[in-house]
Structure 1
Amino acid sequence: MINAFHNEAGVTFPQGFTAAGVKAGIKKSGNLDVAVIYTEKEAAVAGTFTQNAVAAAPVFASKAVVATGTAHAIVANAGCANACTGEQGEKDAAATQKIAAEALGCTPQDVVVASTGVIGVPLPMDKLEAGVKDAVSKLSADGSSAASQAIMTTDTHPKTAALEIELGGKKVRFGVIAKGSGMIQPNMATMLCFITTDAAIDSKLLQKALSKVVATSFNMISIDGDMSTNDMVVVMANGAAGNAPIVEGSEDYAKFLEALDKLCKELAQEIADDGEGATKFLTVHVTGTKTFADAKTIAMSVAKSPLVKTAFFGADPNWGRVICAVGYAGVPMNHKDVVVKFGDIPVYAHGVGAEYDAEALAKVMEQHDITISIDMGQGEEEATVWTCDFSYEYVKINGEYHT
């Protein structure tokens, strides 16, 4: 039984975790821009990172931390990505780890670092150092809300969730904060996601669990087809719940995996729903393929199509754009086997447009949440991708982002 809490507890909901978010002057807006998450009790750590070949300095620094298997803290800043900043960027990422470690009383290799914002701009280290020290001084069990705000860029609202399960008679808690709104394309998205849990689990099994759930959550969203340089999902598990260490193949592992999956899918959908300038949340559900990979490829082809996305912004039931995106996805198919539905209404079936009630379809197209269902008629596999529409506001936000 999983109980989800859509509250501000976030990453401080699990036992032993504190957090803070402060204003360091890195964001031009003057809003909160430096976050720290901390556990005094050593935590197992796992992470997944961007697959962009042009990865930012903090990605490499944090991969090295994850490789050690343990961590005590996460330090994140918004307003500057510290990407494409050369050797200086690497030095700045390392300096951030050292600054945080000295303030927290741990080692630099205990500190995950993350950055998000404009690419190609060096970190303002004087501001960041002051911000990290300020955040450490303000760490509290009520600090998750501020931390979630501090990692936002073009997000319209903080993204946070928490839940509790029972393992071996012990209550085990999970908390998460994330950011993501634009430059969203797996694998993963322009996103930072930090998960905490007080479960007892070793780092290798934690990594296996995280990689498994990321594949069907954060790797199944797309807003604009652009893969960021800074993406990461990091989870720390400090064992403070006192449960017996989770072992692979056990009932406890299945419950842990289910809880982690629920959190990640929830936040992934929230990121897609909060796409820059979005007015519609679109679920693309592809069934009837021979493999999951085929279903995902087709779903992503539809989800990334600017013509599909603009049609849904305009509430135009232009099914031709959808079947076109299915056709060029590169998956062997017979178009006469395919059925496409908008909501529950078939719009294309077996090679031709389907007859439908125009008034009923118009009501579907006006909704905020719309499902595009595509049955390929070739097998038993399926996949679901989440995306949003393209609006005038998306162009405005990204046309002015650097300025």
Structure 2
Amino acid sequence: MAVNLSAPRAGDLRPVPGVTIGVAEAGIRKANRKDLTVFLLEPGASVGGVFTRNRFCAAPVQVCREHLQQGDIRAFVVNTGNANAGTGEEGLVRARATCIALARKLEISPQQVLPFSTGVIMEPLPLDRIEAGLPAALADAKPDHWLRAAEGIMTTDTVAKAFSATARVGGAEITVTGISKGAGMIRPNMATMLGFLATDACVAQSLMQQLAFELAESSFNRVTVDGDTSTNDSFIVVATNKAQHAQVTRLDSDDGRALLAAMRQVAQQLAQAIVRDGEGATKFIAVRVEGGRDAQECRQVAYAIAHSPLVKTAFFASDPNLGRILAAVGYAGIDDLDQTRIDLWLDDVHVARSGGRNPAYREEDGQRVMKQQEITIRVGLGRGEAADTVWTCDFSHEYVSINADYRS
């Protein structure tokens, strides 16, 4: 069960003018499940994206990068059940053929289509099933199908992930709506996930890559479930330019900051939902590191804690074996770290002070916090004024079972 995460309601998700979405059951891996989704963008939309930093990236990631460079994107096609990764040259051929198939039906160029795949690695993409399912997906296309899309991109997720927000930009109200999928193989760089975030705000195409990067850095690149970087991670940001305000050309302007804040709110909700729905997760854990010389070293320490199987299994068991956290701080790679300056808290419980056990700390207080579903680990480095936060979850028996049986 996801940790304090409810399934979204269709009525809570706001359509984004300029975007229509259709979903179909194409039988890509299993029958009777939504597994093929199309996004259709009206002319004039601005699109940016960031992708996995895994060098063994999937064929659709490679094709997306090529097509984004050419601009004027008009459609996405997303399949679940098959990642089209580890498929060599044939995988690229099939990813491009998917774009051609959709482009023909829309009477646009194949380079105006972005393909996305998620699922099992090293199996041929069933192109025939995708092509056969496209007419049903296109016939289903409506502006208010965000929830259907969130359900249609799920793999091991137990809950669909979708959120909306509104904001004032340039005197006009704008809408932001996004969906994501992911529950395992989640680690920064990015974190297996897909994310699609759209707004009707007016944003220059030249700004979209920076916008996508800024949003990913503060959301999807701040979560980890198991420390594995997927082959297929993709995060796409769309601005349809339908709102009635002047075009945003700089993120450091008043309008740019308002836009970024609204989109970051939804991106962080989506990213945290992935952690809350982490495979087998029973606890949602924020790891905040303070007192660093810069934000980068704070993240370095936070990730060392969040990736540690020993830390994560201790939290699953509510076992206050908290020396594991201090050990992770120590091996995070800060060579001149002074352990006598380290402080550690679990929520309001001061566990370690000046590098040693706090004399006032009682193990039953640590265990009380660890039994909660939501926990904050806070570490003070005593080196400066910087701080940063990442979000993670525990490791349970169920995580092993899900991944042992994934292909069954």
TM-score, normalising length: structure 2: 0.95
How far apart, in 1, do the equivalents of 2:249 and 2:18 lie?
Answer: 22
2:333 matches 1:340: no
1:301-320 aligned at under 5 Å gives the runs 301-320=304-323
Instruction: After TM superposition, give the deviation of residue 298 of structure 1 in Å.
Output: 0.3
Return the letter of the residue paired with 2:100: K
- Whether the 8 Å contact between 1:285 and 1:374 is mirrored in structure 2 is yes
Match of 2:257 in 1: 254
Return the letter of the residue paired with 2:194: L
Task: Decide which of 273, 278, 297 is 2:276's aligned counterpart.
Answer: 273
How far apart, in 1, do the equivalents of 2:247 and 2:25 lie?
Answer: 38
2:363 matches 1:361: no
Could you say what secondary structure the match of 1:181 adopts?
A: coil
Could you say what secondary structure the match of 2:73 adopts?
A: strand
How far apart, in 2, do the equivalents of 1:147 and 1:287 lie?
Answer: 38
Instruction: After TM superposition, give the deviation of residue 251 of structure 1 in Å.
Output: 0.9
Could you say what secondary structure the match of 2:187 adopts?
A: coil
The 1:67–1:204 alpha-carbon spacing in structure 2 relative to 1, beyond 3 Å, is same
1:156-167 aligned at under 5 Å gives the runs 156-167=158-169
2:385 matches 1:380: yes
- Whether the 8 Å contact between 2:289 and 2:389 is mirrored in structure 1 is yes
1:29-40 aligned at under 5 Å gives the runs 30-40=32-42
Instruction: After TM superposition, give the deviation of residue 358 of structure 1 in Å.
Output: 3.7
2:263 matches 1:292: no
Return the letter of the residue paired with 1:379: G
- Whether the 8 Å contact between 1:22 and 1:146 is mirrored in structure 2 is no
Could you say what secondary structure the match of 1:46 adopts?
A: strand
Q: Which deviates more from structure 2 when the two are superposed, residues 24-33 or residues 186-195? A: 24-33
How far apart, in 2, do the equivalents of 1:64 and 1:199 lie?
Answer: 25
Match of 2:18 in 1: 16
- Whether the 8 Å contact between 2:320 and 2:363 is mirrored in structure 1 is no
Instruction: After TM superposition, give the deviation of residue 293 of structure 1 in Å.
Output: 0.8
Instruction: After TM superposition, give the deviation of residue 9 of structure 1 in Å.
Output: 6.0
How far apart, in 2, do the equivalents of 1:203 and 1:31 lie?
Answer: 35
Q: Which deviates more from structure 2 when the two are superposed, residues 392-401 or residues 8-17? A: 8-17
Q: Which deviates more from structure 2 when the two are superposed, residues 286-295 or residues 132-141? A: 132-141
Q: Which deviates more from structure 2 when the two are superposed, residues 179-188 or residues 194-203? A: 194-203
Match of 1:117 in 2: 119
Instruction: After TM superposition, give the deviation of residue 389 of structure 1 in Å.
Output: 0.3
The number of residues matched between the two structures is 398
Q: Which deviates more from structure 2 when the two are superposed, residues 149-158 or residues 212-221? A: 212-221
Match of 1:3 in 2: none
- CA deviation digits over 1:63-116, x for unaligned, max 9? 112212321111111000000111111011111111111222322111111000
Q: Which deviates more from structure 2 when the two are superposed, residues 283-292 or residues 22-31? A: 22-31
- Whether the 8 Å contact between 2:10 and 2:147 is mirrored in structure 1 is yes
How far apart, in 2, do the equivalents of 1:305 and 1:92 lie?
Answer: 38
1:178-257 aligned at under 5 Å gives the runs 178-248=180-250, 249-257=252-260
- Whether the 8 Å contact between 1:9 and 1:161 is mirrored in structure 2 is no
How far apart, in 2, do the equivalents of 1:29 and 1:375 lie?
Answer: 51
Match of 1:52 in 2: 54
Percent identical residues: 41
Task: Decide which of 144, 150, 172 is 1:148's aligned counterpart.
Answer: 150
- Whether the 8 Å contact between 1:76 and 1:115 is mirrored in structure 2 is yes
TM-score, normalising length: structure 1: 0.96
Structure 1 unaligned spans of 5+? 1-5
Return the letter of the residue paired with 1:351: G
Instruction: After TM superposition, give the deviation of residue 10 of structure 1 in Å.
Output: 8.0
How far apart, in 2, do the equivalents of 1:374 and 1:29 lie?
Answer: 48
Match of 2:88 in 1: 86
The 1:402–1:305 alpha-carbon spacing in structure 2 relative to 1, beyond 3 Å, is same
Structure 2 unaligned spans of 5+? 1-7
Instruction: After TM superposition, give the deviation of residue 145 of structure 1 in Å.
Output: 1.3
Could you say what secondary structure the match of 1:82 adopts?
A: coil
How far apart, in 2, do the equivalents of 1:348 and 1:133 lie?
Answer: 61
Return the letter of the residue paired with 1:361: G
